[in-house]
Structure 1
Amino acid sequence: MPPRRSHKKSRAGCRRCKSRKIKCDEVHPRCGNCVKHGVPCDFERPEVLAELQAAAAAAESPATPASFDFGSPITPAAGPASVVPSVSALATPLCRAPQTPAVSQTTPPGHRLLELRLMHQYTAMTCKTFTFTAPVTEDIWKITVPNLAFSGSQHLADAILAVAALHLRSMVPNDKELVRASHAYMAASLAEYSAALTKGIDHTNAESLFLTSALIAFQSTATRVFMKDEVMVGAGNDVDADANRRRNQPSGCYAIPFSWFHSFQGVKAITAASWQYLRASPVVTQVINSQAVLQLDFTTGPETFFGHLLEGLDEELAAMGGGGSDTSSATNATGAPSPAAPSTSPGHPPPNKPAAATAELLSSTRQAYQHAVAVLNWAHKIPHKGAPLAFPATVSRRFIELLEERRPRALAILACFFALLKSMDSVWWLQGMARREVLGVVSLFNSDFFGADAYRTWWPHLEWAMRIALYEHPSGGGGGNSNGGGGEEPIPPDVWGADWYAEERALAEGQAHHGGYVRHIELLSQMGSAMQSIPSVPEFVPVMGDQR
């Protein structure tokens, strides 16, 4: 008989696992069992230890009768660990004093109060900041979405609390409890969301997965507001340096918020993968139809507002496709740095790449640029309707690759997108975003990364974005939308380059003719473009230096 394998005992588990007499995996800052059951862990919150010890002592000691007081509310027993009253207790006359109510062993009182605070914040204020158009959509986010979460969707419930915590943080930035809550609830939501996607999408979970993906996108966007300037443009740490090397970016440069694109693209992927179920959902269809339908004009000439962003595209593509081993000339032609050796990044095919593959790459690059500029032209006309937020959701995967390669044209397009967000500067999760991000993108052109000529070459294409990002309204009202606080006063047409409300009337007529956004998705689904693929879960990384 072979000898038994040795078993190393440990006393370093968390207190909650010890009290339940189960093995703790000792993962910090929150053990796996506590994450699974959605309860606080004393690894993460040392103050929980005292509460657990007090609860254990109360459970071991017999309950003592209390004087009956009509003015004192009786706390109902809650949770699976609540003590079940005995038969004799049930037979006690109503005039007798009740026993001391059992306290939940899984949810400390302080934690319950926090969740009540967050849910109140969500229903009273946060839900109003998700819509820019139809009032009926506000009722959906306020009433229908919480009810759907209460029906058993844990990932949706955690996403609601995470976004509410982040909204409260915007008002009380130094509240450490809210900092921890915003990170912890979003991490828990992503874990449950990922598990649900792994099991598969069907008619029972399609609605909740779509709504959770939308809240994840809001959270990813809003988290950027809390980034410190030195984190964004200062020297990065080792983790940042590794990510920068993978994305061809030197440490210490402005970091493009790729989480924006990944999370909004996740909403698009969820919609595509579950459209056969979502199309029958009155909740989701109302949310989708509240968005302004995309009416894209692929005219590439200078007559469109952002048509100048496509100037020189033919020469750039010719340099990319015909450089052979002379890849340095291709990069110099667009203002990018000249590598010492031929690049094998997606934007620069290696010398031996087949001609057909090169042609396909160049075609997808052209289409990516043209589509991105078309979205900008459309959003520029009705920015107050939330139209700019369609950009990170609708651009192609190839355009995101071009951003990862730090292609100057892609970055100039990105700067113009961020400038469009100035129209929603008073919304809490977009406040200051235009100024911060446009200045960050432009700083790349004025750095050693692109060389001395890049800033001068690309400044004509960046000038409008800079002017809008730095714009201050004379009355102090800003150029924002009234949702989420602040006055609604549009940026003057001579500064912005278009009259929002005149353009809105014209686009509304087109939308009535072509149908709503649901009709737009129906047409896309009929084209059979990757509609059944399961979306990947966006990576959640707490903002560095943000654990105040």
Structure 2
Amino acid sequence: MAQSEPAQHDLRGVSSANRSNGTESPQASYPASPALAFPDSDPLNILDHQRNVHLPSDLHLRDLELMHHYSTVSYKTISRHSAFMDSFQFEVPKIALSYPFLMHGLLALSASHLVHLNKDSERVKEYEELAFGHQTLALRLFRGELDNITPSNSEAMFAFSSIVTVLGFASLQTTGVQSLPPIDEMLQTYNLCRGVSEILQTSNPWLKTSNSWVPNVLASMRMPEKPLPADIEKNISLLFKLNSDLTVTGQTMEETAASENAISEISTTFQQVHSGFAVAWAFRWPICVAPIFISNLRDRRPMALVLLAHYCILLHKMDDFWWMKGWPRRLLHSIYTTLAPSWRDAIRWPVEVIGLSSPGE
């Protein structure tokens, strides 16, 4: 006697078992499940409560892609310091949920990084649009918070201030548009750094007295200071000597004092970086120099340009970051071509360290 075929089941029901000699298959003796009893029922109904929903159907997939990229890749490109990276992977995105300017900043950074990684991709224009859009919104919303820094938003202000300089350099890298000479672009970055410093000074008292993660991160980025290597000491001494010769520099006494302060601050920054401080401490130099020194840079005064050339060595230590890549070299080249030939020997050290072998580079 031929055996009956096995029952055929699917998600919507079950087919009748083939019968042999009019006898039902043994499976028929078991109680039927609702799905088997009603072939037209949907087993997914158990998950569908038939309630009215008000969620948008658009999942904002592009922004989800940006946040995924930020939380898995881009956060690691802001700093090499582990405590800083950990905070920007875990703490900062949580804070950004309450502060749209910070969320747009993180998404802008992620999109800019994707532009850098996909320069030859058909999606590069899409990423450029996302980077520009999120950065524009971030800055617009951030400006609205500047006059209202409070204990509650101080962490968000610190976090955004920490990435805004990165966004500035990233814009130069991703757009490929250099509307200003590199020296003037550096001056704009100086203004950005000085503005960030004012924000941090305002929020700093609240950050210190709260249970914030910020003070611990900043403290961990400092190391015991070590003496400068002899070659750096020698080249810094040459700068002091040059600056003191007013017949060569043509500076006033006030300008000489401002340049001397700038040399001292360069020396301090070299010492910090050499001691193992986070390389981002290099951004402190623009904050410490006097306004008259900034004016001399704007006017292309040679002594100021020589000091800026030496600062390029510190920026060059960040050259492996995608948002800084190649920029110190372009800046040094601009300084080299701006200086009169009689002054170029004064920047021999930066030229050798950075590898600017010829002015045509």
Q: Normalised by the shorter chain, which TM-score bucket?
A: 0.7 to 0.9
Deviation track 1:69-125 (CA, whole Å, cap 9, x = no partner) reads 667xxxxxxxxxxxxxxxxxxxxx8687958966628xx44xx11111111111101
> Paired residue for 1:139?
86
Conserved? CA contact 1:306–1:376, under 8 Å? no
Residue 218 of structure 1: how far off its partner (Å): 1.3
Distance 1:120 1:368 in 2: 44
Distance 2:287 2:91 in 1: 24
Conserved? CA contact 2:165–2:193, under 8 Å? yes
SS at match of 1:307: helix
Is it true that 1:370 corresponds to 2:252 in the alignment? no
**Kindly tell me: are residues 363 and 466 of structure 1, through their superposed partners in 2, closer, same or farther at Cα, counting changes over 3 Å?**
closer
Conserved? CA contact 1:419–1:438, under 8 Å? no
Residue 284 of structure 1: how far off its partner (Å): 1.4
Conserved? CA contact 1:372–1:413, under 8 Å? no
**Kindly tell me: are residues 398 and 383 of structure 1, through their superposed partners in 2, closer, same or farther at Cα, counting changes over 3 Å?**
farther
Is it true that 1:417 corresponds to 2:311 in the alignment? yes
Any residues of structure 2 matched to 1:298-377 within 5 Å, and which?
303-316=233-246, 333-334=248-249, 361-362=254-255, 365-377=258-270
Is it true that 1:408 corresponds to 2:360 in the alignment? no
Is it true that 1:276 corresponds to 2:161 in the alignment? no
User: 2:188 is matched by which residue type in structure 1?
Assistant: S
Distance 1:182 1:430 in 2: 17
Conserved? CA contact 2:67–2:110, under 8 Å? yes
Distance 2:311 2:303 in 1: 13
**Kindly tell me: are residues 290 and 227 of structure 1, through their superposed partners in 2, closer, same or farther at Cα, counting changes over 3 Å?**
farther
> Paired residue for 1:219?
167
> Paired residue for 1:436?
330
**Kindly tell me: are residues 424 and 377 of structure 1, through their superposed partners in 2, closer, same or farther at Cα, counting changes over 3 Å?**
closer
Deviation track 1:362-406 (CA, whole Å, cap 9, x = no partner) reads 475245433343235425635784143333344343332221121
Conserved? CA contact 1:371–1:395, under 8 Å? no
Compute the RMSD of aligned alpha carbons.
Answer: 3.4
Report percent identity of matched pairs: 22
Conserved? CA contact 2:76–2:85, under 8 Å? yes
Any residues of structure 2 matched to 1:150-299 within 5 Å, and which?
150=97, 152-173=98-119, 175-198=124-147, 200-226=148-174, 228=176, 232=178, 255-281=184-210, 282-292=212-222
Runs of 5+ consecutive residues of structure 2 not aligned to the other structure = 1-39
Residue 461 of structure 1: how far off its partner (Å): 1.9
Conserved? CA contact 2:225–2:272, under 8 Å? no
Conserved? CA contact 1:68–1:97, under 8 Å? no
Number of aligned positions between the proteins? 310
> Paired residue for 2:17?
none
Which has the larger share of helix? 2
**Kindly tell me: are residues 379 and 68 of structure 1, through their superposed partners in 2, closer, same or farther at Cα, counting changes over 3 Å?**
farther
Residue 142 of structure 1: how far off its partner (Å): 0.3
Ranked by relative contact order (alpha carbons within 8 Å, sequence separation 6 or more), the top structure is 1
SS at match of 2:235: coil
Conserved? CA contact 1:294–1:378, under 8 Å? no
* Aligned mate of 1:104, from 50, 56, 66: 56
Distance 1:96 1:470 in 2: 66
**Kindly tell me: are residues 95 and 141 of structure 1, through their superposed partners in 2, closer, same or farther at Cα, counting changes over 3 Å?**
closer
Residue 315 of structure 1: how far off its partner (Å): 3.8
Distance 1:191 1:293 in 2: 36
* Aligned mate of 2:344, from 456, 459, 468: 459
Residue 141 of structure 1: how far off its partner (Å): 0.5
User: 1:375 is matched by which residue type in structure 2?
Assistant: T
Structure 2 length-normalised TM:
0.74
> Paired residue for 1:20?
none
Conserved? CA contact 2:266–2:285, under 8 Å? no
Distance 2:255 2:183 in 1: 27
**Kindly tell me: are residues 421 and 369 of structure 1, through their superposed partners in 2, closer, same or farther at Cα, counting changes over 3 Å?**
closer
Distance 1:400 1:297 in 2: 29
Structure 1 length-normalised TM:
0.50
Larger Rg: 2
